Protein backbone atom coordinates (compact mmCIF):
# COMPACT_ATOMS: atom_id res chain seq x y z
CA UNK A 1 0.00 0.00 0.00
CA UNK A 2 1.26 3.49 -0.86
CA UNK A 3 2.05 5.52 2.22
CA UNK A 4 0.39 8.94 2.70
CA UNK A 5 2.62 11.73 1.49
CA UNK A 6 2.95 13.22 5.01
CA UNK A 7 4.31 9.88 6.26
CA UNK A 8 6.76 9.74 3.39
CA UNK A 9 8.07 13.23 4.08
CA UNK A 10 7.37 13.46 7.79
CA UNK A 11 6.06 16.99 7.27
CA UNK A 12 3.68 18.37 9.90
CA UNK A 13 0.45 20.12 8.88
CA UNK A 14 0.85 23.76 7.87
CA UNK A 15 -1.40 26.63 6.80
CA UNK A 16 -0.30 29.82 5.04
CA UNK A 17 -2.49 32.83 4.27
CA UNK A 18 -2.12 36.11 2.43
CA UNK A 19 -4.23 39.23 2.34
CA UNK A 20 -2.72 40.78 -0.75
CA UNK A 21 0.51 42.30 -2.00
CA UNK A 22 1.14 45.95 -2.82
CA UNK A 23 0.48 47.49 0.58
CA UNK A 24 2.33 50.80 0.95
CA UNK A 25 3.79 51.72 4.35
CA UNK A 26 2.78 55.37 4.16
CA UNK A 27 -0.86 54.36 3.62
CA UNK A 28 -1.01 52.24 6.78
CA UNK A 29 -1.77 53.97 10.08
CA UNK A 30 -1.27 52.18 13.39
CA UNK A 31 -4.94 51.28 13.85
CA UNK A 32 -5.23 49.79 10.36
CA UNK A 33 -2.05 47.79 10.83
CA UNK A 34 -3.28 46.35 14.11
CA UNK A 35 -6.58 45.44 12.48
CA UNK A 36 -4.89 43.72 9.56
CA UNK A 37 -2.59 41.72 11.80
CA UNK A 38 -5.49 40.65 14.00
CA UNK A 39 -7.56 39.60 10.98
CA UNK A 40 -4.69 37.55 9.54
CA UNK A 41 -4.18 35.84 12.90
CA UNK A 42 -7.89 35.07 13.18
CA UNK A 43 -7.94 33.54 9.70
CA UNK A 44 -4.98 31.36 10.64
CA UNK A 45 -6.68 30.25 13.85
CA UNK A 46 -9.92 29.42 12.01
CA UNK A 47 -8.09 27.30 9.47
CA UNK A 48 -6.00 25.60 12.13
CA UNK A 49 -9.07 24.81 14.24
CA UNK A 50 -10.72 23.21 11.23
CA UNK A 51 -7.68 21.03 10.60
CA UNK A 52 -7.25 20.18 14.30
CA UNK A 53 -10.85 18.96 14.40
CA UNK A 54 -10.01 16.37 11.75
CA UNK A 55 -10.61 18.51 8.69
CA UNK A 56 -8.71 18.25 5.43
CA UNK A 57 -6.45 20.76 3.72
CA UNK A 58 -9.54 21.82 1.77
CA UNK A 59 -11.38 22.52 5.02
CA UNK A 60 -8.45 24.54 6.35
CA UNK A 61 -8.13 26.81 3.31
CA UNK A 62 -11.90 27.25 3.11
CA UNK A 63 -12.18 28.33 6.75
CA UNK A 64 -9.23 30.70 6.47
CA UNK A 65 -10.45 32.39 3.29
CA UNK A 66 -14.00 32.80 4.66
CA UNK A 67 -12.50 34.68 7.62
CA UNK A 68 -10.52 36.92 5.27
CA UNK A 69 -13.58 37.54 3.06
CA UNK A 70 -15.54 38.64 6.14
CA UNK A 71 -12.88 41.14 7.24
CA UNK A 72 -13.09 44.69 5.81
CA UNK A 73 -9.33 45.11 5.40
CA UNK A 74 -8.79 43.00 2.28
CA UNK A 75 -9.91 43.14 -1.33
CA UNK A 76 -12.29 40.18 -1.14
CA UNK A 77 -15.82 39.69 0.12
CA UNK A 78 -16.83 42.50 2.48
CA UNK A 79 -13.76 44.62 1.65
CA UNK A 80 -13.93 44.23 -2.15
CA UNK A 81 -12.99 47.11 -4.42
CA UNK A 82 -15.34 48.82 -6.87
CA UNK A 83 -15.48 48.49 -10.63
CA UNK A 84 -15.53 51.53 -12.94
CA UNK A 85 -19.33 51.45 -12.75
CA UNK A 86 -19.35 51.55 -8.94
CA UNK A 87 -20.31 47.95 -8.26
CA UNK A 88 -18.53 45.00 -6.64
CA UNK A 89 -17.74 41.90 -8.73
CA UNK A 90 -16.20 38.96 -6.91
CA UNK A 91 -14.10 36.00 -8.04
CA UNK A 92 -12.80 32.92 -6.19
CA UNK A 93 -11.28 29.49 -6.73
CA UNK A 94 -10.35 26.40 -4.75
CA UNK A 95 -8.33 23.32 -5.70
CA UNK A 96 -7.62 19.94 -4.13
CA UNK A 97 -4.05 18.87 -4.87
CA UNK A 98 -4.69 15.19 -4.12
CA UNK A 99 -7.35 14.77 -6.81
CA UNK A 100 -6.87 17.85 -9.05
CA UNK A 101 -10.53 18.68 -8.52
CA UNK A 102 -11.22 22.41 -8.69
CA UNK A 103 -14.05 24.92 -8.54
CA UNK A 104 -14.26 28.60 -9.37
CA UNK A 105 -16.69 31.49 -9.71
CA UNK A 106 -16.31 34.82 -11.47
CA UNK A 107 -18.19 38.10 -11.62
CA UNK A 108 -20.65 37.39 -8.82
CA UNK A 109 -22.26 40.38 -7.08
CA UNK A 110 -24.37 38.99 -4.23
CA UNK A 111 -22.46 36.01 -2.85
CA UNK A 112 -21.25 36.80 0.66
CA UNK A 113 -18.44 34.22 0.61
CA UNK A 114 -17.40 33.39 -2.95
CA UNK A 115 -14.95 30.72 -1.77
CA UNK A 116 -17.89 28.69 -0.42
CA UNK A 117 -19.58 28.87 -3.79
CA UNK A 118 -16.34 27.88 -5.56
CA UNK A 119 -16.14 24.82 -3.34
CA UNK A 120 -19.78 23.96 -4.06
CA UNK A 121 -19.03 24.17 -7.80
CA UNK A 122 -16.20 21.69 -7.28
CA UNK A 123 -18.17 19.29 -5.11
CA UNK A 124 -21.73 19.55 -6.40
CA UNK A 125 -21.55 20.37 -10.11
CA UNK A 126 -19.97 18.76 -13.18
CA UNK A 127 -18.18 22.04 -13.96
CA UNK A 128 -15.06 23.91 -12.83
CA UNK A 129 -16.06 27.56 -13.32
CA UNK A 130 -19.41 29.35 -13.18
CA UNK A 131 -19.91 33.08 -13.76
CA UNK A 132 -22.33 35.91 -13.14
CA UNK A 133 -26.07 35.25 -12.85
CA UNK A 134 -25.65 31.55 -13.52
CA UNK A 135 -23.25 31.21 -10.62
CA UNK A 136 -25.67 33.05 -8.35
CA UNK A 137 -28.51 30.79 -9.48
CA UNK A 138 -26.38 27.82 -8.51
CA UNK A 139 -25.67 29.50 -5.16
CA UNK A 140 -29.42 29.61 -4.46
CA UNK A 141 -29.72 25.91 -5.25
CA UNK A 142 -26.85 25.15 -2.86
CA UNK A 143 -28.12 27.42 -0.06
CA UNK A 144 -25.01 29.59 -0.26
CA UNK A 145 -25.67 32.90 1.50
CA UNK A 146 -26.58 35.82 -0.75
CA UNK A 147 -26.57 39.42 0.46
CA UNK A 148 -27.70 42.81 -0.71
CA UNK A 149 -24.94 44.38 -2.84
CA UNK A 150 -24.67 47.20 -0.27
CA UNK A 151 -23.05 44.66 2.07
CA UNK A 152 -19.83 45.01 0.07
CA UNK A 153 -19.80 48.80 0.03
CA UNK A 154 -17.21 50.46 2.28
CA UNK A 155 -16.25 54.12 2.39
CA UNK A 156 -12.57 53.33 2.01
CA UNK A 157 -13.06 51.40 -1.22
CA UNK A 158 -15.36 54.09 -2.62
CA UNK A 159 -12.68 56.71 -1.99
CA UNK A 160 -10.13 54.48 -3.68
CA UNK A 161 -12.33 54.30 -6.78
CA UNK A 162 -12.55 58.09 -6.98
CA UNK A 163 -8.79 58.35 -6.62
CA UNK A 164 -8.23 55.71 -9.31
CA UNK A 165 -10.55 57.55 -11.68
CA UNK A 166 -8.60 60.78 -11.15
CA UNK A 167 -5.32 58.98 -11.75
CA UNK A 168 -6.66 57.41 -14.93
CA UNK A 169 -7.84 60.80 -16.19
CA UNK A 170 -4.29 62.12 -15.67
CA UNK A 171 -2.79 59.01 -17.32
CA UNK A 172 -1.01 58.19 -14.04
CA UNK A 173 -0.03 54.69 -12.98
CA UNK A 174 -2.66 52.85 -10.94
CA UNK A 175 -1.58 49.88 -8.81
CA UNK A 176 -3.45 46.65 -9.50
CA UNK A 177 -3.34 44.67 -6.27
CA UNK A 178 -5.59 42.97 -3.78
CA UNK A 179 -6.51 39.37 -3.13
CA UNK A 180 -6.77 36.92 -0.25
CA UNK A 181 -5.72 33.31 -0.26
CA UNK A 182 -4.63 30.25 1.66
CA UNK A 183 -2.63 27.08 1.07
CA UNK A 184 -2.55 24.11 3.42
CA UNK A 185 -0.88 20.75 4.02
CA UNK A 186 -2.91 18.38 6.18
CA UNK A 187 -1.99 15.42 8.39
CA UNK A 188 -2.49 12.98 5.50
CA UNK A 189 -0.08 14.88 3.27
CA UNK A 190 -2.76 16.43 1.07
CA UNK A 191 -2.39 19.96 -0.28
CA UNK A 192 -5.05 22.53 -1.18
CA UNK A 193 -5.20 26.14 -2.34
CA UNK A 194 -7.92 28.80 -2.36
CA UNK A 195 -8.03 32.42 -3.54
CA UNK A 196 -10.69 35.13 -3.43
CA UNK A 197 -10.76 38.70 -4.74
CA UNK A 198 -12.77 41.75 -5.63
CA UNK A 199 -10.53 42.20 -8.66
CA UNK A 200 -9.03 45.46 -9.81
CA UNK A 201 -10.16 48.91 -8.68
CA UNK A 202 -11.85 50.72 -11.59
CA UNK A 203 -11.94 47.56 -13.75
CA UNK A 204 -14.21 47.63 -16.80
CA UNK A 205 -16.03 45.42 -19.30
CA UNK A 206 -16.44 42.44 -16.99
CA UNK A 207 -12.70 41.99 -16.58
CA UNK A 208 -11.69 38.71 -14.90
CA UNK A 209 -8.24 38.37 -13.36
CA UNK A 210 -6.09 35.44 -12.40
CA UNK A 211 -7.61 34.50 -9.01
CA UNK A 212 -10.46 32.27 -10.29
CA UNK A 213 -8.43 30.86 -13.18
CA UNK A 214 -7.04 27.45 -12.27
CA UNK A 215 -3.31 27.48 -12.97
CA UNK A 216 -2.97 31.26 -13.00
CA UNK A 217 -3.71 32.58 -9.50
CA UNK A 218 -4.68 29.28 -7.86
CA UNK A 219 -3.26 25.78 -8.23
CA UNK A 220 -2.50 22.65 -6.21
CA UNK A 221 -1.18 19.21 -7.05
CA UNK A 222 0.36 16.43 -4.98
CA UNK A 223 3.66 18.29 -4.63
CA UNK A 224 2.78 21.96 -4.32
CA UNK A 225 0.01 24.48 -3.64
CA UNK A 226 0.02 28.18 -4.52
CA UNK A 227 -2.23 31.21 -4.16
CA UNK A 228 -1.09 34.38 -5.91
CA UNK A 229 -1.69 38.08 -5.43
CA UNK A 230 -0.72 40.89 -7.76
CA UNK A 231 -1.35 42.28 -11.20
CA UNK A 232 -3.53 39.46 -12.52
CA UNK A 233 -2.88 39.93 -16.22
CA UNK A 234 0.73 38.87 -15.71
CA UNK A 235 -0.20 35.84 -13.61
CA UNK A 236 -2.54 34.82 -16.42
CA UNK A 237 0.11 35.28 -19.10
CA UNK A 238 2.65 33.17 -17.21
CA UNK A 239 0.15 30.61 -15.84
CA UNK A 240 2.00 31.49 -12.66
CA UNK A 241 0.57 29.07 -10.11
CA UNK A 242 0.80 26.10 -12.46
CA UNK A 243 4.31 27.14 -13.51
CA UNK A 244 5.51 27.23 -9.90
CA UNK A 245 3.95 23.91 -8.96
CA UNK A 246 5.16 22.12 -12.08
CA UNK A 247 8.69 23.31 -11.38
CA UNK A 248 8.32 21.62 -7.99
CA UNK A 249 6.53 18.49 -9.22
CA UNK A 250 8.22 17.80 -12.56
CA UNK A 251 11.57 19.61 -12.35
CA UNK A 252 12.13 18.74 -8.67
CA UNK A 253 12.99 22.34 -7.84
CA UNK A 254 12.81 23.47 -4.25
CA UNK A 255 9.66 25.45 -3.43
CA UNK A 256 11.61 28.64 -2.73
CA UNK A 257 13.61 28.37 -5.96
CA UNK A 258 10.51 27.71 -8.06
CA UNK A 259 8.56 30.59 -6.50
CA UNK A 260 11.47 32.99 -6.91
CA UNK A 261 11.87 32.12 -10.59
CA UNK A 262 8.25 32.83 -11.49
CA UNK A 263 7.10 35.51 -9.02
CA UNK A 264 10.28 37.57 -8.72
CA UNK A 265 11.85 36.95 -12.12
CA UNK A 266 9.42 36.00 -14.90
CA UNK A 267 6.55 38.28 -13.87
CA UNK A 268 8.67 41.43 -13.24
CA UNK A 269 10.50 40.80 -16.54
CA UNK A 270 7.15 41.27 -18.30
CA UNK A 271 6.33 44.42 -16.33
CA UNK A 272 4.14 42.88 -13.64
CA UNK A 273 4.45 42.65 -9.88
CA UNK A 274 2.91 40.93 -6.89
CA UNK A 275 3.52 38.01 -4.58
CA UNK A 276 2.41 34.52 -3.62
CA UNK A 277 2.25 31.94 -0.87
CA UNK A 278 3.57 28.50 -1.83
CA UNK A 279 3.65 25.29 0.19
CA UNK A 280 5.26 21.97 -0.68
CA UNK A 281 4.32 18.45 0.33
CA UNK A 282 7.65 18.27 2.17
CA UNK A 283 6.57 21.19 4.37
CA UNK A 284 8.80 23.74 2.63
CA UNK A 285 7.21 27.14 2.19
CA UNK A 286 7.84 30.38 0.33
CA UNK A 287 6.21 33.81 0.49
CA UNK A 288 7.90 35.82 -2.29
CA UNK A 289 6.81 39.34 -3.21
CA UNK A 290 8.30 42.28 -5.07
CA UNK A 291 6.12 45.10 -3.73
CA UNK A 292 6.46 47.37 -0.70
CA UNK A 293 4.69 44.79 1.46
CA UNK A 294 2.42 41.75 1.51
CA UNK A 295 -0.09 40.74 4.20
CA UNK A 296 0.89 37.18 5.09
CA UNK A 297 0.98 34.58 7.84
CA UNK A 298 1.56 30.96 8.81
CA UNK A 299 0.47 28.53 11.49
CA UNK A 300 1.72 25.05 12.30
CA UNK A 301 1.19 22.28 14.79
CA UNK A 302 1.65 24.54 17.81
CA UNK A 303 -1.43 26.55 16.87
CA UNK A 304 0.42 29.85 17.20
CA UNK A 305 -0.23 32.32 14.35
CA UNK A 306 2.71 34.26 12.92
CA UNK A 307 1.90 37.27 10.73
CA UNK A 308 3.88 39.86 8.81
CA UNK A 309 3.46 42.76 6.42
CA UNK A 310 6.83 44.31 5.62
CA UNK A 311 9.88 42.86 3.83
CA UNK A 312 12.09 42.94 6.92
CA UNK A 313 9.70 40.67 8.88
CA UNK A 314 10.63 36.99 8.77
CA UNK A 315 8.04 34.40 9.81
Band (pLDDT 50/70/90 cuts) for residue 278 is: very high
Percent pLDDT > 70 in the chain is: 94
The confidence score (pLDDT) of residue 176 equals 55
Neighbours of 292 (CB within 10 A): 17
The confidence score (pLDDT) of residue 1 equals 31
The confidence score (pLDDT) of residue 175 equals 60
Residue 128: exposure state from Cβ atoms within 10 A (0-12, 13-18, ≥19): middle
* Residue 271 is assigned to a structural domain of this protein: yes
pLDDT surpasses 50 at 3: no
pLDDT in tens, 107-134: 999 999 999 999 999 999 999 999 999 9
pLDDT in tens, 121-168: 999 999 999 999 999 999 999 999 999 999 998 888 878 878 777 776
Number of domains in the chain: 1
In which element (H, E) is residue 135 found?
helix 132-141
Q: Which of 28-32, 65-69, 151-155 has maximum average pLDDT? A: 65-69
DSSP reduced 3-state for 146: strand
* Residue 313 is assigned to a structural domain of this protein: no
Mean pLDDT of the chain: 92
SS3 content of the chain, % helix, strand, coil (to 5): 40, 25, 40
* Residue 58 is assigned to a structural domain of this protein: yes
pLDDT in tens, 88-114: 999 999 999 999 999 999 999 999 999
Q: Write the CB contacts of 201 (distance below 8 Å, at least 6 apart in sequence).
A: 81, 82, 157, 160, 161, 164, 174, 176, 178
Percent pLDDT > 90 in the chain is: 80
Q: How far is CA 238 from CA 6, 85, 106, 257, in A?
A: 30, 29, 20, 16
* Residue 187 is assigned to a structural domain of this protein: yes
Contact 77, 112 (CB under 8 A): yes
Would you say the pTM of this structure is higher than 0.85? Answer: yes
* Residue 107 is assigned to a structural domain of this protein: yes
Q: Classify residue 80 by its DSSP letter.
A: P
Q: Write the CB contacts of 158 (distance below 8 Å, at least 6 apart in sequence).
A: 82, 86
Phi and psi dihedrals of 277, rounded to 5?
-120, 135
Q: Where are the beta strands (DSSP E) in the chain?
A: 14-21, 90-96, 101-108, 129-131, 180-185, 191-197, 218-220, 224-230, 274-280, 285-286, 294-299, 306-308
* Residue 268 is assigned to a structural domain of this protein: yes
When mean pLDDT is compared across 122-126, 174-178, 223-227, the lowest value belongs to 174-178
* Residue 256 is assigned to a structural domain of this protein: yes
What is the rounded average pLDDT of the residues 269-285? 97
Instruction: Look up the CATH number of the domain holding residue 107.
Output: 3.60.20.30
d(Cα 300, Cα 45) in Å, to the nearest integer? 10
The confidence score (pLDDT) of residue 174 equals 59
Q: Classify residue 214 by its DSSP letter.
A: B
DSSP reduced 3-state for 311: coil
The confidence score (pLDDT) of residue 2 equals 36
Band (pLDDT 50/70/90 cuts) for residue 201 is: confident
Q: Write the CB contacts of 62 (distance below 8 Å, at least 6 apart in sequence).
A: 50, 94, 115, 116, 119, 194
Q: Classify residue 170 by its DSSP letter.
A: T
When mean pLDDT is compared across 8-17, 209-218, 224-233, 280-289, the lowest value belongs to 8-17
The confidence score (pLDDT) of residue 52 equals 87
Domain that includes residue 82, residue range: 5-308
Active site residues: 179
Amino acid sequence: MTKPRAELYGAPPMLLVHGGAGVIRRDMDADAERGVRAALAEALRRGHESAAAGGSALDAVTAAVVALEDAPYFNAGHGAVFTHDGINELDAAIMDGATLRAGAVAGVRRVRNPVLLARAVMEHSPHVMLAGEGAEGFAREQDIALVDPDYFRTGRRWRELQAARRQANRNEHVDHFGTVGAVALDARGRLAAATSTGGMTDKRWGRIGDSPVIGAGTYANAACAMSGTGWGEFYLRTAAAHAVCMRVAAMRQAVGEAAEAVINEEIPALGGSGGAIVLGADGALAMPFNTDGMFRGRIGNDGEPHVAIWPDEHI
